[in-house]
Amino acid sequence: MKAKKILDSFNYAFEGIIYTLKTQRNMRIHFVIAVLVLFASVFFHLSKVETLILFITIALVIIAEMINTSIEATIDLITDKYHELAKIAKNVAAGAVLVSAVNSIIVAYIIFYDKLNKISLILIYKVRAMPIHITFISLIIVIFVSIGVKAYFGNGTPLRGGMPSGHAAISFSIFIAVVFLSKNTLIITLAFILAILVVQSRIEAGIHSLMQVLVGAFLGALITLFIFQLIY
């Protein structure tokens, strides 16, 4: 009986994780990013201390998201009416998730900065002498392709809504161009953050769905990457 109770405890715990994954979009995002970071860490030969910090940081983000979900569920169980204290509880829990997420970005940046900087210097320096007009040609092609795909799907306008997101395509096209033209990892990181903010703003404004911005970002990045690699 005791062994069964322990097994049931594990089952309940996994059910909680699965429920959070099924119902919370942010949790799914955290999981995908965690998998990508852990996969990347294999190729960067992290020390034991760096690996330990990485695992702790990932765990903190996931734990914070799960606590946030449990608090929201508890409040919704207690009342379905608006209450200032319920709002405060939910906002504070969401703030804890935000703090842990920002902390994870800082930790990942500190751990991977030097390693990424060395790789970028090796790979990017070779193409820094490319004519600047290649960047503008890439942007124009990305814009034309985005409009063409929108015309194919028949929804949205060239500047608003529809599949794919033109803003996401252009922002990630610029990001890839910066990757090739700059040898500074900090500048590349800032360009990536700006691209993410553009994508996030389109979703928050209700102009595009997550799928539309993902397709746009992939399209813009892929076209620009292909052009730079082709010229190189």
Positions marked catalytic: 65
Q: Which two tokens stand for residue 120?
A: 């970028």
Query: Alpha carbon of 25 to those of 33, 79, 118, 222, 223: distances in Å?
Result: 13, 23, 34, 25, 28
Query: Alpha carbon of 46 to those of 49, 56, 71, 203: distances in Å?
Result: 8, 14, 36, 35
Query: How far is Cα 113 from Cα 57, in angstroms, rounded to an integer?
Result: 16
Interhelix angle 84-124/48-78, rounded to 10 degrees, is 150
Enclosing H/E stretch for 159: none
Which residues does 191 contact at the CB level (< 8 Å), separation at least 6?
A: 174, 175, 178, 179, 182
Query: How far is Cα 212 from Cα 182, in angstroms, rounded to an integer?
Result: 28
> What's the burial of 173, exposed, middle or buried (CB within 10 Å: 0-12/13-18/19+)?
buried
In three-state secondary structure terms, 232 is coil
Number of DSSP helices (H) and strands (E) in the chain, helices first: 8, 0
